[in-house]
Amino acid sequence: MPGTSTTGAELRTARDEGIAGPLRVALTTLGCKVNYAEMAELAGQLAGLGCEVVPEDEPADVRVLNSCAVTLQADATTRQRLHRLRRRDPGCHLVLTGCSVDANPDRYLAAGSDGRPAVPGLDAVFANTEKLRIADHVAALAAGRGNPLRHLPPAGLRSRAFLKVQDGCDHRCTYCVVWRTRGASASVPEEVVMARARAAVATGHAEVVLTGVDLGSYGRDRGSDLTALVRRLLEDVDGTVRIRLSSINANDIPEDLIELNGDPRLCGHWHIPLQSGSDQVLRAMHRGYRRQRYLRVVEDLRRRDPDTELTTDVMVGFPGESQEDHEATLRLIDEVEFLGCHVFRYSPRPDTEAVGLPQQADDALLRSRSAEVRRAGAASARRRRQRAVGRQHRVVWDRVAPGEAHGLTDGYHEVVADPTTGTRTGRMQTIMATRVEGDLLRGTILPEPGGDER
C-alpha cells in the first residue's frame, strides 16, 4: 500500500527562525518489540543522516508514531496519541506508520484534495511495507528546510540494539489481525543479521535483542531456524555482548534452542505469550500449544538455568472463557512465577474469526478477572524479585546520572545502583542485589576482576 505524504517544501517547524540546527526528530512507539526494533533502526538511520533524535518529551520538528492495532483499544490509543502529539508540538510534522495504518487503510491512507492525508493533523502516513521510506522522507524534509548534517549517536539507544530479524506470521490466531496485515513470515537473511549485529557491537551496544512478529518461525522460509541463528551469533559476535530473544511462542521453542539457555551470553529471560492457562480457550484461540506444553517448556528452560526469568501476555475474556478457565490461568501464573505479566482484555476485531463468537462474560466480570490476573502477576513478580536478592547479576546500564544508574539484568530485572567510576550507559557490570525497592532491585556494583575500573 502506498504512503501519503507532503513534500519537504511543506515542512512546518516549531523552530522556524534563524539558522536551522539539525532537524529534531522524536519517535513514539506503541505495541510490540517489533515496533520498538523498527524505531531503533529508524533512529540509527536518522542519526546517520544528521538528524537529532530526541526523547519523546522534548520539542521536536518531526514526530513519528509507530502504531499498534492488536486490539480495538490499541487502535483507540493510536488516535489519542496522535492528538496528544499534535497538542504537544502544534507546529511539528507528524508522521503515522504501523499496524493501525494497515488495519484501517480507508481511514489513514486516503488523501484529501490537497494530496495530504485526509485525517486532520497528520502530515504523512506510511503503511508497514513503506516504513523503510520514512528516513528518506525525513531527509527530504531536512533538505527542504536547509538543515545542516550533523552526525550524532542515536540518543538513548546505545545500550541495547534491537534487531528485527523476521516479519509476518504464519499462525492464524482467531483474535488477531496482525497475520493479515503483516502477511506471511519472512526472515532477514542470516548474513544480514550477522552484519547488523557486528555493526551494533561496533557502535558500542552491549546487548543485541532479536525481535520479530513471530520470532520462533525465523528461518523457516530459508531452510534454517532460530537455533542456528542464535548459535552463530553466540559463536561469531564479540564475546562481551549478550543476546536476548524477544517474544517467542511456546510451540516454537524446540529442544536445541532450550539447550542454549545455559549459555551465559544468552539472556536467561524468555517472553513466552501465554494468553490463557486453559486448553479449551487456547484451542478456540488457535494457539499452537496447550497448558502442558507451556509448562514443560518453562520447566526445561529452568532445568538448564534455574535463574531463568519468564515474562508473558495474558488475554482476559476471550469468548466462552468460563470461571474455570479463568482459574486455570491464575493457577498457571502462580506455578510459573512470572517476572512480568502484561494483561489485556479481549476486544472483538473486524476481520477476525473470533468476532462472530458470542461474548459470555459481562463487563464487570471481565474487569474483575483482569484485576485478579494483574494481582496474580504482581504477586509472582514480587516473589521473583525477592528471590533475586543476595545474588549476582550482569547489568547493562540504560541511564547513568550522578548518584544513580538504571539498568537491566540478564533476567530482565530493573536495577538501580550508585554508579562507580566505570559505570557508563551501554556498559555491562556485575552487581550484587541487596534489596527490593518497589518494582526495582537495589544493587551494589562489584569491582571488575583484577580491579580494572575503566
> 164 or 427: whose CB is closer to ligand SF4?
164
Write the CA distances from 272 to 96, 103, 279, 376, 416, integer angstroms. 29, 25, 16, 17, 26
Phi, psi of 381 (to 5 degrees): -65, -40
In the complex, what is the shortest distance from the CB of residue 347 to ligand SF4, in angstroms, rounded to a whole number?
Answer: 14
Segment interacting with ligand SF4, rule: CB under 6 A, options 41-49, 173-181, 362-370, 374-382: 173-181
Q: How many residues bind ligand SF4 (CB under 6 A)?
A: 9
> 85 or 178: whose CB is closer to ligand SF4?
178
> 5 or 311: whose CB is closer to ligand SF4?
311
Binding-site member from 33, 81, 145, 171 for ligand SF4 (CB under 6 A)? 171
R_g over Cα of the chain: 23
In whole angstroms, give the CA distance from residue 433 to residue 430. 10
213 binds ligand SF4 (CB under 6 A): yes
In the complex, what is the shortest distance from the CB of residue 287 to ligand SF4, in angstroms, rounded to a whole number?
Answer: 7
Give one DSSP letter per residue of 191-253, joined into a string.
Answer: HHHHHHHHHHHHTT-SEEEEEETTGGGTTGGGT--HHHHHHHHHHHS-TT-EEEE-B--GGG-
315 binds ligand SF4 (CB under 6 A): no
Three-state DSSP class for 14? coil
> 6 or 185: whose CB is closer to ligand SF4?
185
173 binds ligand SF4 (CB under 6 A): yes
> 263 or 344: whose CB is closer to ligand SF4?
344
Give one DSSP letter per residue of 414-425, joined into a string.
Answer: EEEE---TT--T
214 binds ligand SF4 (CB under 6 A): yes
In the complex, what is the shortest distance from the CB of residue 179 to ligand SF4, in angstroms, rounded to a whole number?
Answer: 4
Longest dimension (CA), the chain: 69
178 binds ligand SF4 (CB under 6 A): yes
Write the CA distances from 332 to 229, 252, 259, 340, 370, integer angstroms. 31, 19, 24, 14, 15
In the complex, what is the shortest distance from the CB of residue 393 to ligand SF4, in angstroms, rounded to a whole number?
Answer: 30
Residue 339's Cα: distance from chain center in Å?
Answer: 16
What are the counts of helices (DSSP H) followed by strands (DSSP E) for the chain?
A: 13, 18
Segment interacting with ligand SF4, rule: CB under 6 A, options 5-13, 174-182, 415-423, 441-449: 174-182
Question: Which positions ≥6 away from 100 have C-beta within 8 Å?
Answer: 67, 68, 69, 74, 75, 78, 108
Contact string (CB under 6 A) for ligand SF4, positions 129-168, x = contact: ----------------------------------------
Binding-site member from 169, 230, 361, 417 for ligand SF4 (CB under 6 A)? 169
In the complex, what is the shortest distance from the CB of residue 442 to ligand SF4, in angstroms, rounded to a whole number?
Answer: 36
* HSE of 50, CA atoms in CB hemisphere, 13 A: 14
> 171 or 394: whose CB is closer to ligand SF4?
171
In the complex, what is the shortest distance from the CB of residue 174 to ligand SF4, in angstroms, rounded to a whole number?
Answer: 9
Please count the other Cβ atoms lying within 10 Å of the Cβ belonging to residue 35. Answer: 25
> 178 or 241: whose CB is closer to ligand SF4?
178
176 binds ligand SF4 (CB under 6 A): yes
Q: Which three cell numbers stand for residue 197?
A: 549485529
Binding-site member from 36, 126, 179, 412 for ligand SF4 (CB under 6 A)? 179
In whole angstroms, give the CA distance from residue 242 to residue 208. 6
Q: Which residues bind ligand SF4 (CB under 6 A)?
A: 169, 171-173, 176, 178-179, 213-214
